[in-house]
Structure 1
Amino acid sequence: MAGTVVFDLDGTLADTSGDLIAAANACFHARGLGPLLDPDLDALIAFHGGRAMLRAGYARLPADALMPPGAEEEDYPRLLNYYGESIAVHTRLYPGAEAALDRLAEAGHSLAVCTNKPSALAEVLLRELGVRDRFAAMIGADTLPVRKPDPRPYRAAVEGAGGRMAESFLVGDTETDRKTASAAGVRVALVAFGPEGEGLARLAPEAMLRHFDELPALAADWLGK
């Protein structure tokens, strides 16, 4: 086998921001607050997780608005429930993602997912998107006692796919992915087609992907074949 390519999920393989923000707004609606987040303007916030979305929404309330203590902790499980019920309404794979997975597999590379999304939700989403069978391993936020940027989830993804760390790299979209790769001692390609776009170049990744069409050639260069 030529090597192992490990993917982050949200913001890397798929644009999940619309469904994530809809779940957060459902929490706000339940409190009579209306939609505090915008699915387009706040897409980047969505990729920082459920609690980040809740905090961002609450921060937009008028100064005289009274929120019950612990609202974030109360609403977080509700957000996950809303999200689980409508996980793939707006979510789509990024252009070229599925074709790139096919070409990587044809070249003999094994594929894995390493995400900070709860594993049950990640499994459901990958199945809904029709690509779960492309990945030999899937490591979620709660698969291990630690999550990215700790290198252990990445290592578990590589080993679960039957690969070797020295013959692997990560494809991601955040500073967390950059730090994960550094901690694991592997290279990272960050995508330029997510909400932050070319701004991710500030993290000095070994490569920037501007379209998934570029990934098979990068894998051939880094992993051979």
Structure 2
Amino acid sequence: MKRCVIFDLDGTLADTSGDLIASANHCFAQMGIDERLDPLLDAGTAVRGGRAMLTLGLTRAGLMSEETVTRWYPELLTAYDDAIDHHTVMYPGAVEAVEDLRRADYAVGICTNKPAALAEKLLRSLGVRDMFASMIGADTMPTRKPDVAPYWAAVDRAGGRRDASLLVGDSVTDRNTSAAAGVPSILVTFAVGGEDVHPLKPESVIDHFHELVPEVIRLIG
């Protein structure tokens, strides 16, 4: 059993906001709504998921209802599946940091609230799936983050030690997950709204992936 680092995906390993917003805008076009989400200004909503994007756009148009969000969410997922990697890129230094951890004999995995099939497809498209020993998506388990079950599954399937693990993420969801599990969290600031992670008081905050390995060593050895 190895020391273990589990990563969030959207807003942590990869900037997926452009393709996510494009999928939401596809839905708004189909609805006949003229206003669209902005790839830059609304990127913070994008990393919160499809329902959040639909809610934002529908609210702006004065058409918000839970029924409408539920009706269009599958269409959004289909649109995203069809164009999942047109704009998405790994954050600078992410691949190198993960490889450094693997060379140092850490187990590495992913725990994301993206549907598992979409996460798998994206990781393979980016050419990085084989770097991770586990991949737990929103629908892999009966619950999702911030419940601890998906996190522990990611650790266990990666061959990691629960008592020597931590979570790297970018949001309050990741912070709450680590707190519930009683493990450290490292939150990144390079996603949209990244400075908002400081008040969450994680065990560590990093501004670039070249800072990751020393912080992992400091926190779990």
TM-score, normalised on structure 1? Answer: 0.95
2:169·2:188 contact (CA, 8 Å) conserved in 1?
yes
Correspondence 1:11-26 to 2 at 5 A: 11-26=11-26
1:25·1:34 contact (CA, 8 Å) conserved in 2?
no
* CA deviation map 1:175-221 (0-9, x unaligned): 00000000011000000101112221010000001100011111222
2:212 alignment counterpart: 215
1:24·1:79 contact (CA, 8 Å) conserved in 2?
yes
* CA deviation map 1:9-40 (0-9, x unaligned): 00000000000000000000111213521000
Q: Report the alpha carbon displacement of residue 69 of structure 1 after superposing the two structures with TM.
A: 8.0
Alpha-carbon spacing, 1:4–1:166, altered in 2? closer, same or farther (3 Å): same
Are 2:197 and 1:200 aligned? yes
Are 2:148 and 1:151 aligned? yes
SS at 1:168's partner residue? strand
Over aligned residues, Cα RMSD in angstroms?
Answer: 1.4
Alpha-carbon spacing, 1:104–1:68, altered in 2? closer, same or farther (3 Å): closer
Displaced runs of 4+ in structure 1, greater than 3 A? 66-69
* CA deviation map 1:32-69 (0-9, x unaligned): 213521000000001111111001001111x5xx6788
Q: Report the alpha carbon displacement of residue 164 of structure 1 after superposing the two structures with TM.
A: 1.2
Correspondence 1:29-40 to 2 at 5 A: 29-40=29-40
- Cα distance in 2, alignment partners of residues 140 and 69 from structure 1: 23
- Cα distance in 2, alignment partners of residues 157 and 136 from structure 1: 9
1:47 alignment counterpart: 47
Alpha-carbon spacing, 1:189–1:67, altered in 2? closer, same or farther (3 Å): closer
SS at 2:177's partner residue? helix
- Cα distance in 2, alignment partners of residues 20 and 67 from structure 1: 19
Aligned residue pairs total: 221
- Cα distance in 2, alignment partners of residues 121 and 115 from structure 1: 11
- Cα distance in 1, alignment partners of residues 92 and 65 from structure 2: 42
* CA deviation map 1:57-106 (0-9, x unaligned): 01111x5xx67882211110000000000001000000000010110111
Q: Report the alpha carbon displacement of residue 223 of structure 1 after superposing the two structures with TM.
A: 2.6
TM-score, normalised on structure 2? Answer: 0.96
1:126 alignment counterpart: 123
Letter paired with 2:158? A
Structure 1 spans left out of the alignment, 5+ residues: none
Structure 2 spans left out of the alignment, 5+ residues: none
SS at 1:3's partner residue? strand
2:102 alignment counterpart: 105
Letter paired with 2:98? L
Indicate which of 148, 162, 181 corresponds to 2:159.
162
1:175 alignment counterpart: 172
- Cα distance in 1, alignment partners of residues 85 and 66 from structure 2: 32
The percentage of aligned residue pairs carrying the same residue is 54
SS at 2:202's partner residue? coil
